[in-house]
Structure 1
Amino acid sequence: MKRWEKAGIVCCSDPLPDSFLPQTQALCEVLSSLGITPVLSDAMFISGLRGKNAMKAKADALMRMIKDPDISAVFDVSGGDLANGMLPYLDFSVFADHPKPIFGYSDLTALLNAVYQKAGTASVLYSVKNLIGKHADVQIARFFAYLQGNSDLLFSPTWQFVQGESIHGTLIGGNIRCLLKLAGTPYFPACSDAVLFLESRSGGENRICSYFDQLLCMDVFSKVNGVLLGTFTEFESVCGEDAPQQLLMEVVQNKHLPIAKTKTVGHGSDSHALPIGVRVSLCAQKASYLQFSHHSDYDIIPL
């Protein structure tokens, strides 16, 4: 794998408060220790800007990172609600012409799926803030091994099938609330021949049910090859770990739709990474990991 000498650090969702500066510095120190020189976006702390000006500034900063030939990957460190607001200001041909992995999670679900849909390039559903989180030692070890091409543990969640025995297709999705912000827009990912991943931090039973119902009304469940559920933090804390898959089966009412559940991808600081826009195979017969049947030219996924 080509060594990443420089990585861009961006904020594509809510502006970061000044109080995040120490965390930014800590993350930069970790990346530097791994041999990566962090390059900070000039639109990370723009709390003075609002509306279109802020979104355009974020989009322009991201475009510069993507075009920069010295930057091999882009890490988003934000979250919240605003990421979809920058989509109209992006030139998706730039992503296609300069393919490089974008790492982000939660609200960045909107950006990652839009980039796949409009540019055909893959991204990574993962928060690099995990490198300075509660499980930092484990995350750093996984990340470093991935960079060196020695291990795919970063991309190795485990799962159990609750319906069906296998799912094959291109992985799409992420945070369910943020994915649904793309509904009815040109940025919603193609569902045909896809594996749909869904997770959520907030939301009790009624809210999650409403999200599942909306996807049902959009005919998403009739188009995808299967569903992989991640963690639903608030929902599971109240109703139990089995609640999301039970609710989904009640909503979908389709015994032929393969459904699997992983406890190792979501908003937890111990979360594994998933590739958006990459073909995957999940099999019930194997108590192993995601088997990648395709990878991009810039090697975001080890074979």
Structure 2
Amino acid sequence: MSKALKLSAGNKVGMIACSDGVRVENLPKVEELIRILNAFGLEVVVANTLYRRDSYFSGNPKDRATELNRLFKNDEIRAIFDISGGDSANQILEYIDYDNIRLHPKPFFGMSDLSVILNALYTQSNSKSYHYQLMNLVSSDGSEQQEAFYRTFFEGQNDLYDFQYHWIRGNHMSGIVIGGNIRCLMKLAGTSYFPDPSNKILFLESLSGRANKIVSLFAQLQQVKYFDKCAGLILGSFTELESYNEFSIVEEYVKDISRIPIVKTNEIGHGSNSRFIIIGENITLYKYN
């Protein structure tokens, strides 16, 4: 696997909310996060669309896309961190300047509902994006995450890049990673932003959903012929599903509807100790004896 983004003291990074705006009551956590990034030597450029204004949104879809485009166009900014989540990210897809992003590429970080943007950036701009929530740095595992973040992005180590996994089927898979949160990825079905799965490795995870909901989403993926074309499947953490000990139901269903190699990891998803996976990155996984 290739090394991740390299940061150094003095670099600028952007912070934005492209999905639901950050709640004002979370201001202390965001301020703490900015202090941590400043302590790393980073200068944080905060978008005008970060906190909620009216109801759920930090701005209308055009406003949020304009701020994202501005951060991408600023060549002084090394990476963009989206710290939002919810249900609103797909509203901005048609307003993103993908040609500009192709000319001014930089890593974009986000997860959950931001899966729609991670995959749109790949399909429209051939960009690589990190499925990762920066708020992990101020979570219950914050100290460990801060250390891992610094080692990964400042010292070039693989702390947040490498993840443990076990094989459900097969012993080898290789390809470009697509996917993210399964519920949010399916918002892209039928659009030009939905990635072509041919010879790709599909990564899927979820916060909510018990077995009936998750199985229904896998059925939809089967019906759009995703599993007929993929080179492999990485199953991340399925938080609610696994809290009810129902993962085996989904595992059996997926094995029944597909014939592709499958691995399971508990280290990528909504957990506060999660690592990242890069959408648009070519990875290879082996079974070691």
TM-score over 0.5 for the pair: yes
Residues 242 and 33 of structure 1, relative CA distance in 2, 3 Å threshold? farther
Identify which range, 32-41 or 46-55, moves more after superposition. Answer: 46-55
Runs of 4+ in 1 over 3 A off after TM superposition: 49-53, 240-244
1:3 counterpart = 2:8: yes
Q: Contact 1:160–1:261 (CA<8 Å) still a contact in 2? A: yes
Amino acid paired to 1:197: F
Counterparts in 2 of 1:233-252, with a 5 A limit?
233-250=239-256, 252=257
Q: Structure 2: how far apart are the matches of 1:56 and 1:115?
A: 17
TM-score (normalised: structure 1): 0.90
**CA shift for structure 1 position 53:** 6.1
1:118-166 CA distance string (max 9 Å, x none) = 0001010000000011111111111101122331111111100110111
**CA shift for structure 1 position 225:** 0.2
Q: Structure 2: how far apart are the matches of 1:211 and 1:222?
A: 16
Q: Contact 1:236–1:244 (CA<8 Å) still a contact in 2? A: no
Q: Structure 2: how far apart are the matches of 1:51 and 1:10?
A: 12
Amino acid paired to 1:144: Y
Counterparts in 2 of 1:9-158, with a 5 A limit?
9-48=15-54, 54-158=60-164
Q: Structure 2: how far apart are the matches of 1:138 and 1:248?
A: 33
Q: Contact 1:17–1:47 (CA<8 Å) still a contact in 2? A: no
Q: Structure 2: how far apart are the matches of 1:235 and 1:52?
A: 31
1:281 counterpart = 2:284: yes
Q: Contact 1:165–1:283 (CA<8 Å) still a contact in 2? A: yes
**Unmatched 5+ stretches in structure 2:** 1-5
**CA shift for structure 1 position 38:** 0.9
Amino acid paired to 2:153: L
Q: How many residues align?
A: 283
**Unmatched 5+ stretches in structure 1:** 287-303
Residue 175 of structure 2 is matched in structure 1 by 169
Q: Structure 1: how far apart are the matches of 2:204 and 2:253?
A: 13
1:188-222 CA distance string (max 9 Å, x none) = 01211100000001011111011000000000001
1:81-119 CA distance string (max 9 Å, x none) = 010110011111111110100000100000000000000
- Of 220, 232, 236, 1:226 maps to 232
Q: Structure 1: how far apart are the matches of 2:229 and 2:118?
A: 20
